[in-house]
Amino acid sequence: MVTRHPDTDLLVEYTSGSLSLAPSISVTTHLQFCENCSNAVDSLNQLGGDILEAAEAVPVCEDLFEKILLGIDEGSPESASPHGAKITAVDAISDSLPRYVQQFLPKGKLRWRFLSPSLRLATISVGEDRHELALHRIQAGGKAPEHDHNGEEITVVLTGCFSDEDGVYQPGDFIVREPGDVHRPFAAQNKECICLSVLSAPIKLTGLKRVFNPFMGFSPS
Ligand SMILES: [Zn+2]
């Protein structure tokens, strides 16, 4: 059961379209698992529509409609969209991921980068330079290195589950880590855990492990 959700402020930003693509993808991924938040987003959209309807009409220049149409024509059809991209992934694990997430995976196999003996990371490119969107994969019973964060990190559990000092996280759970949070996630014994993560700045290992800091390889997507 999903017990961790985006907060209301984040849902309002998401609904108003002010979130950039990578965090937006993380929220939509959570919505695939969570009826409560989906209903909240529907209500916010309804509210936004009501406010627009109630707003007084303001005069616009005569050729505005033409300009909008022109803008639509000029838009790149290849740009990634949270709602419309084609599914192209063939990596062995892709079938186990939510269909919504599969559409963002690269063609062919994912390139898993070694972070520790039990932890791998594959970045997903969605054309963003402020965030790194990635999949983290912790093998069954594996522990990730203890680390803290220079920036905010959003994690959405996709398959399996993991736990840290603060609790146990199931598929769909949406976890936000702020700068300075130190934690050491580990996967359940019986199944590997795959999470979607959005990192807004490099995270760093604490103590001596900083020397072998595999997390510093920030690759904005
Ligand atoms: Zn939720």
User: 196 C-alpha vs ligand 1 centroid, how far in Å?
Assistant: 15
DSSP state of 136: E
Worst-scoring range by mean pLDDT, 24-28, 130-134, 144-148?
Answer: 144-148
Q: What are phi and psi of 157, to 5 degrees?
A: -75, 130
Domain count, the chain: 1
Q: What CATH number has the domain bearing residue 174?
A: 2.60.120.10
Residue 167, beta-bridge partner list: 164
Provide the pLDDT for residue 48: 78
User: 150 C-alpha vs ligand 1 centroid, how far in Å?
Assistant: 26
User: 40 C-alpha vs ligand 1 centroid, how far in Å?
Assistant: 9
d(CA 120, CA 103): 20
pLDDT band, residue 211 (cuts 50/70/90): very low
Are 194 and 93 in contact, with CB atoms under 8 Å apart? yes
Mean of the per-residue pLDDT values of the chain: 81
User: 34 C-alpha vs ligand 1 centroid, how far in Å?
Assistant: 5
Provide the pLDDT for residue 213: 47
d(CA 153, CA 59): 43
With tokens 């019973």, the residue in question is 141
Q: Domain range for residue 19?
A: 1-221
User: 5 C-alpha vs ligand 1 centroid, how far in Å?
Assistant: 4
Provide the pLDDT for residue 64: 66
User: 173 C-alpha vs ligand 1 centroid, how far in Å?
Assistant: 8
d(CA 115, CA 11): 31
pLDDT band, residue 219 (cuts 50/70/90): low
- Those residues whose C-beta lies under 8 Å from the C-beta of residue 177, and which sit 6 or more positions away, are 149, 152, 153, 154, 155, 183
Residues 45-80 have pLDDT tens digits of 998 777 777 776 666 666 766 766 665 555 444 444
Segment 7-19 shows an average pLDDT of 94
User: 39 C-alpha vs ligand 1 centroid, how far in Å?
Assistant: 9
